[in-house]
Amino acid sequence: MRGHLPDENPGFVGRRTELERVSAALADHRLVTVTGVGGVGKTRLALRAARRAADAHPDGAWWTDLSQLDGERLLVPLVADSVDLADHIPGTSTAGLCRRLADDRLLLVLDSCEHIAEPCARLVTELLAAAPGLTVLATSRRPLGVRGERVVALDPLPPAGRDALELLRRAAGEDLPAAGPAGEICVRLEGIPLALELAAAQIRLQGAEAVRDQLGTRLDAPPSARFDLLAHTERVWPSRHQTLRAAIGWSHELSTPLERLLWARLSVFRGPFDLASATAVCAGGPLDRATLPGALDGLVRSSVVRPPDAAGRLRMLDTIREYGATWLDRTGETATVAERHAAHFLGLARRAETAWHGARQLRWHRTADAHHTDLRTALDRLLRTDPDAALDLVGSVAFAWSCRGRLHEARDGLEQALLLSGARGRARARALWALGVTLVLQGESGPAQEVSERCAREARYAEHVESSPYGGTPRDDRDRAGDRDRDRAGDRDGARPGDRDRPGGRDRDHARPDDRDRDRHRYRPGDLTLDAAALAGLIALTTGRPTAAHVVVGHVLDAARGGPADSAARLRCRLVRVFALTGLGRLAEARERALRLRARCEELDEHWIRTALEYQLALTGLLEGDPAAAAGHARAMLEGTRSLGASLGVALGLDVLATALAAAGDGERAADVSGTGEAYWRSTGQPRRGLPGLRALSEKYADTARATIGEPAYEEIFVRALTGPPQAGLDRALRVPRQG
């Protein structure tokens, strides 16, 4: 089945009538909104209804959790990401999302719309107008107010009914009798699911009688004693449901002072968090590194914090987080904790960028992806309070975001930080490089060229400044001599002495003594200039100028200090050179360099460059008439791009694999892989593209495959793969057929 829905909460109980109402509404209306107070179970009902309705939507049911948003700016990118639209479209992302959904028949679930209800209403209106087959199921504390909206109001469970008691039993893990304290607890808490779960946590700790007595004391007290301390609007805390407010306040009172302090400070996290992040952000004063884990365990036991998932990540429900945020404000720590949060995620971004080169690349790529929501939260704060730090943060993670397909987020953050920050040097050069790559992936070669030129100037400026305390003079001659000695080892990617890419250039190792003496005082480009050259080369490649790409990276590689695999920037330059050689038709040389570079990447456990090299080797195999080798390299590329979550890379890899299969005479598998590739291309929001040589080969061998198995058979297989689950198609593509 296509689509994505999260795992269900095991606490779903009853709701048979409400489920039927939502299901019937979805059958007759294109927008259904489940409304109700916080904690009443809107998300659980919507998830169960979406699972039931999924089969009626050929393109699946897709879930978007909007609770992680702090404002509307990232609404469209988040929805796009939730429907597997890798955001590669330049211009307005709403238009790209409309195009993605225009021909689909799917169910889109927007969970927790209340804090951005008006932007949600505008987006839903546009999507429903652009996509006739789209149905939207929303949850919100109030209706969206869109024309044609069907509202299903959700009330608490009947307090004296069996469903409320069953929920309490499951949450408490006890077979509580209906007569006695358990039944009284359900009545006193008015059947509100979240309130019952909080009470169940206390039953596990104290027993049902103690909980009943404490609730009786609180709920029978005058309003001033019912934790009536929060200044929420009536739409969040309706007067008829002050019980939930009292139940959360009761849980707050039962928490220890350290647990209450941690509860307040944890409210700064908008996404899942782990113990390390919680400690870095929330420790301070009496809540130190020794006491914080115990306080966190206490909040988990009392159901204030959800238990850790398989990856060790925890989270708080919105309603409980809002309560903690109000208490954080009352303590006067809101700004302080937000600053700690931003500083922590700036540090995480820096470590992720540093670890990109080497064995920790994949782990840190996944770490940055897991903490994406809070990285964005930190970036938004730093853009307001410290634009220079914001430039540092977004420059550190934007390349990983672009690899993941979050191009609009990367571009938006980079452009804002570059505009607001006046910082010069390394951070600006790195941000300009990341912005240039993002623009290339969005197909905007003109703006990318302008950014590339700015990047080269900023890189040279930064490296001159860093090279000396005297404002840009060359570094000490001893350092230069060390660089020269390393260069004497030759071009470490295997080129023979004198075999330089720089046209007309002599091998530095064979220069006359006076040449070498002058060279020691010459500017020597570093990683920033290497990346600027790689960006210029990438633009040249994508605009059909392989000679220019070969010259620019060859010139900088020839002059740069360091060994051939000393940095990610040097590897990126060498990758561009390999593709340039392929474009120039120097296939044997390109393959030899690619294999040598791939071996070095394997030693480093580097994934991104290695995956791109597999694509180049697959293309070389096709150009040399070896489709079996091309298919093997294409599958290796697909494995790599899948591990990196790079949908554009998957689309490119499927294209080259389909071409290889067609060239080998396997028309049926070629049609299947090509249909799956088209599905992935649609998820990127742009038409099929790739290097010019591959496009010509793909068209040639696709025609051959159609002729081999017949046009009707080819189209039937192609359409079946296109409309089926893309992941299943990718799994089929990765299977190597048995021989004989």
pLDDT at 516: 45
Number of neighbours of residue 309 by Cβ within 10 angstroms: 12
Asked whether 571 and 607 are in contact (CB, 8 A), the reply is no
User: Following CA atoms 359, 360, 363, 369 in sequence, which dihedral angle do they give, to the nearest 10 degrees?
Assistant: -120
CA distance 698 to 687: 14
pLDDT at 230: 35
pLDDT at 496: 36
Q: What is the pLDDT of residues 189-231, one digit of tens each?
A: 888 888 898 889 889 888 999 988 888 766 665 544 444 433 3
CA distance 622 to 694: 8
Most confident of 181-185, 212-216, 358-362: 181-185
CA distance 509 to 498: 8
Q: What is the pLDDT of residues 119-156, one digit of tens each?
A: 999 999 999 999 999 999 999 988 999 999 999 999 88
Token code pair at residue 686: 């742009």
pLDDT at 478: 35
CA distance 705 to 723: 20
Q: What is the pLDDT of residues 467-502, one digit of tens each?
A: 655 444 433 333 333 333 333 333 434 343 334 333
Residue type, 519: D
Which contiguous run of DSSP H or E holds residue 657? helix 647-663
For 178-181, which contacts have Cβ atoms below 8 Å and span 24 or more sequence positions?
A: 180/208, 181/208, 181/209, 181/211, 181/212
Q: What is the arithmetic mean of pLDDT over 297-323? A: 89
User: Whole-number mean pLDDT of the chain?
Assistant: 84
For 453-460, which contacts have Cβ atoms below 8 Å and span 24 or more sequence positions?
A: 455/429, 455/531, 455/532, 455/535, 456/529, 456/532, 456/533, 456/536, 458/424, 458/425, 458/428, 458/429, 458/432, 458/528, 459/429, 459/433, 459/525, 459/528, 459/529, 459/531, 459/532, 460/523, 460/525, 460/529
pLDDT at 504: 38
pLDDT at 475: 38
Specify the 3-state DSSP secondary structure of 640: helix
CA distance 22 to 26: 6
Query: Does residue 365 have a pLDDT over 90?
Result: no
pLDDT at 324: 92
pLDDT at 358: 75
CA atoms within 13 A on the CB side of 642: 16
Q: Is the Cα torsion angle 591, 594, 598, 600 positive or negative in sign?
A: positive
Per DSSP, what are the bridge partners of residue 61? 3, 107
pLDDT at 512: 47
CA distance 617 to 623: 10
CA distance 52 to 149: 20
Q: Which residue has the tokens 């080998």?
A: 664
> CA separation (Å) from 733 to 206, 640, 660, 720?
56, 14, 12, 14
Q: What is the arithmetic mean of pLDDT over 316-328? A: 89
Provide the residue count of the chain: 740
CA distance 34 to 108: 14
Query: Does residue 633 have a pLDDT over 80?
Result: yes
3-state secondary structure 672-692: HHHHHHHHHHHHHCCCCCCCH
Query: Does residue 509 have a pLDDT over 70?
Result: no
Query: pLDDT higher for 547 or 724?
Result: 547
Asked whether 532 and 429 are in contact (CB, 8 A), the reply is yes
Least confident interval from 92-96, 285-289, 374-378, 503-507: 503-507
Asked whether 109 and 65 are in contact (CB, 8 A), the reply is no
Q: What is the pLDDT of residues 421-474, one digit of tens each?
A: 999 999 999 999 999 999 998 888 899 999 999 999 999 999 987 665 544 443
Asked whether 250 and 227 are in contact (CB, 8 A), the reply is yes
Q: What is the pLDDT of residues 543-570, one digit of tens each?
A: 889 999 999 999 999 988 777 778 899 9
Give me Rg for the CA atoms of the chain: 29
Query: pTM for this structure?
Result: 0.80
> Binning pLDDT at 50, 70 and 90, where does residue 90 land?
low
| Percent residues over pLDDT 70 in the chain | 85
Q: Which residue has the tokens 């606490």?
A: 11
